[in-house]
Chain A
Amino acid sequence: MAGDMIRAALIRRLRISSAIADEDVKEIEELPIVVRQFPAETPVVRDGERATNCCLIADGFCARSKTIASGKRQILSIHIPGEIPDLMSLFLHVMDHDLATLTPATLGFISHETLQRLHRRRPVVAEMFWRDTLIDAAMFREWLVNVGQRPAPARLAHVMLELRERLRIIGRQDGNNFEMPLTQEQIGEALGITAVHANRIIKQLRQEGIVELHRGRVTVLDERKFLELADFDGRYLHQSPTL
């Protein structure tokens, strides 16, 4: 993957959410990035590890999760190309959760030292990344509300709609069709339900003609019903510098 492709989704995202200026785009284009290929379902950085890099997803999907003593895992967030899911490790050095790939992924590693130097040289870039971690926190708040308060079918619809919205921003949404490469176990872990219950609600949404999830792709069958069920208000994604 060529260097500009590694950064393409990130720059596209920052242009929309933070209206990044051209001279700062140039800074990001010149950031030294070490690119590595990861297989699916592989740890990138583990809970308790000391991070020395931040990881930019160039291609593929990742998830952050935390596993409790009984071995049960909660998926905390799903990440797509253009995102830096462990940006907080720049200041919070020891990981308090896991970051792993969901699918085969191309990841770009940027050293903390490089990022710190860039931030000191261009404080406006630091502000932009700060904003990015704040949006990340806003997504966590929404995730918490979703898992804590909505019935399971609405929970799934909400996670799907958020993913569609984020994929749209980086140009990865294809009509009423988009990627959601999670197994039923992983959907269960994301929604706080069992894999058997996840299987049931996926079937239920298809039978009710709302949305179909097949082989990691979502097809919306009825847009109006989908929106109504998900109870989605995208404001928390703050996808405009004025929001």
Chain B
Amino acid sequence: MPRFHFDIHENGCFTPDEDGREFVDGDDARKEAVLTGASIARDAFTTGSAHRIVVDVREEGVPFLKVSITLEVEEA
């Protein structure tokens, strides 16, 4: 099974994923990245700790995909 690493940027703050995790295929890794981004964003946006979350996924060290979630509140 291929190994994927999920590096996370919360605002400017970068947390590398040293351990990585195995997934059956890229599709499963993509789902994990989207769900992870959404779940971190939920906490960060509601507590106000960040307004932009990026989950940067590497497959066996090579860039695989990037999920970006940004909070935009437009006041009337």
Q: Give chain B residues whose Cβ lies under 8 Å from the Cβ of A197.
A: 35-36, 39-40
Q: Report 5 cross-chain contacts, Cβ distance below 8 Å, ordered by A residue.
A: A194-B35, A196-B17, A197-B36, A199-B19, A200-B36
The CA-CA distance from A151 to B47 in the complex, in Å, is 8
Whether A195 and B32, one on each chain, are in contact in the complex, defined by CB atoms closer than 8 angstroms, is yes
Taking CB atoms, residues of chain A closer than 8 Å to B21 are 195-196, 199
CA distance A200 to B36 in the complex (A): 10
User: Knowing that A193-B39, A194-B35, A199-B21 are A-B contacts, what are 8 other residue pairs whose CB atoms are under 8 Å apart, sorted by A's residue number?
Assistant: A152-B39, A152-B43, A153-B43, A195-B21, A196-B32, A196-B55, A197-B36, A200-B40
Residues of A within 8 A of B19 (CB): 199
Q: Is the CB of A200 within 8 A of B43?
A: no
Chain A 141-159 interface residues, beta-carbon cutoff 8 Å to B? 151-153
Which residues, 194 to 220 on A, are CB-close (under 8 Å) to B? 194-197, 199-200, 203
Most buried by B among A153, A193, A197: A197
Contact status B46-A200, CB under 8 Å: no
Question: CB distance B6 to A196 under 8 Å?
Answer: yes
Residues in chain A within 8 A of chain B (CB atoms): 151-153, 193-197, 199-200, 203
With contact pairs A196-B32, A197-B36, A200-B8 given, residues A151 and B15 touching in the complex (Cβ less than 8 Å): no
Residue-wise interface mask of B (31-47) relative to A, using a CB-CB cutoff of 8 A (1 in contact, 0 not): 01101100110010011
Q: CA separation between A199 and B6, bound complex, in Å? A: 10
Q: How far is the CA of A200 from the CA of B33 in the complex (A)?
A: 13
Q: What residues of B have a CB within 8 angstroms of the CB of A151 in the complex?
A: 43, 46-47
Please indicate the chain B residues that have their CB under 8 angstroms from the CB of A195 in the complex.
21, 32
- Nearest CB on A from B62, distance (A): 18
CB distance from B7 to the nearest CB of A (A): 10
